[in-house]
Each structure stands twice: as C-alpha cells, then as structure tokens.
Amino acid sequence: MKIAFTVKKQHIRLFLHYLFEELPDGSLRVTRETEAGKLLTCFVRYADRPIREEPTEGTIMLRLPRCKGLDTAPGHFLHYTAEDIHRLNDLLEVIYNLDMDRYYLKGLRKGYQQKDIIESYIVSRKLTSLFSDNETIKKRQYREELRAFEEQVNQLFQKAWSRNQRIECEPEKYLQK
C-alpha cells in the first residue's frame, strides 16, 4: 500500500530516511515501531477514485504496513488531505525536535562539547547534507538555552521581588481601621 506524502522541510525528509528503510524503488517502508510510523498510518484517508496530487520536490512515497488500523485499505486509493499533511509535518517536526533535544542533553550529561554533540547527531541520524546547516542547529540550541536562562532569571526576580515586598512592606499601611 503506497501513499504520497509531501515533507516541507529537508531535515524532516532526511530524518524519515533515518527512521524508515528505503526500498529499491525509492519509497520508504513505514513501520509502526516508531511514533512517526504510527502517526503516518493513522492519518491515512481512503478514496474510491485516485486523488490527483501534484508531486513536488518534497514529495516522498511511503509503503505502509499491514495493520489493524488499515485493514480496509486494500481496494481503496490512499491519500492525505492538505490539512493532514500540515498536521503531520508539524508533528514530525516535534518528534525530530524531541529526538534532537534528548540526544543533545544526553551528550551534555556525558561531558561532550556542543559542536561534537551536534556533529554526532547529524552523522548518527544520516542527516549529513545538513553539515552546512550546522550553524543553524547551533543557533537553535543557543536560543533554547538562552530562553531557559531568561526563564530562570525571571523566576529569581519574582522571588526576590516577593521577598522584598514582605521585608520592606509596612503592614500598618494596609490594615484597615
């Protein structure tokens, strides 16, 4: 059972090639062993007639597994709606980000430098065409770390302000007579 799927971002397309086996015809064999595979199978729609989809640069062919969720798929034409494609792209981006963050934090805990972690991630996930985008990934990590640091600073300011209010506040002013 084959279905066309348009992936909007190159790194997500490469990530799917890491997750799923590429078949000789260029399609990817989707399995339900990963969260991405489960998502790709559960958003499938059926049609009685072929749906015309204009292939783009980001279109890939997926070979779906036989599973209970697709029991009635044989004999139908499979497709994703435009809304489903947007949802799936967003969800796959989330899965990619979670995988990247998990790998990055694991590397930091083991004492590796940021550059080494990112390079190892790119190679281990077969994202080697992204080596030129290494700076982009570093900037993303930097922005996330900066956001977390700013949150901590804001929390400290709020605690300090609260304590200062309790220390400096004169309760007589606020007590009604």
Using pLDDT thresholds of 50, 70 and 90, give the confidence band for residue 83: very high
What strands, in cross-sheet order, belong to the sheet with 2-6? 2-6, 59-63, 28-29, 21-22
Q: Using an 8 Å Cβ cutoff, are 28 and 62 in contact? A: yes
Tokens at residue 83, please?
Answer: 């809304």
Q: What is the mean pLDDT of the chain?
A: 80
Give 49-55 contacts, CB < 8 A, sequence gap 24+. 49/77, 50/77, 51/77, 51/79, 53/4, 53/6, 53/79, 55/4
Q: Give pairs for 116-125: CB < 8 Å, separation 24+.
A: 125/14, 125/15, 125/18, 125/99
Instruction: Please give the residue that has the higher pLDDT: either 130 or 126.
Output: 126
pLDDT in tens, 12-35: 999 999 999 998 998 899 888 889
- Supply the pLDDT for residue 94: 94
- Tell the burial category of 73 from Cβ atoms under 10 Å away from its Cβ (0-12, 13-18, 19+): middle
Mean pLDDT value of segment 90-113: 91
Residue found under tokens 């080697």: 128
DSSP labels for 92-121? Answer: HHHHHHHHHHHHHHHHHHTT--HHHHHHHH
Tell how strand 45-47 and strand 21-22 pair up. Answer: unpaired
The per-residue pLDDT for 16 is 92
Cβ atoms of residues 16 and 36 within 8 Å: yes
Query: Has residue 154 got a pLDDT over 70?
Result: yes
Give the per-residue pLDDT at 92: 94
The sign one gets for the Cα dihedral 143, 149, 151, 157 is: negative
Q: What pairs with residue 47 in β-bridges?
A: 77
- pLDDT exceeding 90 applies to what percent of the chain? 18
- The residue ranking higher by pLDDT, 14 or 175, is 14
Better-scored residue on pLDDT, 139 or 177: 139
Tens of pLDDT, residue by residue over 35-72, are 998 888 888 787 777 777 777 888 888 888 877 666 66
What is the separation, in whole angstroms, between the first and last Cα of the chain?
80
Q: What is the pLDDT of residue 31?
A: 87
Confidence of residue 119 (pLDDT cuts 50, 70, 90): confident
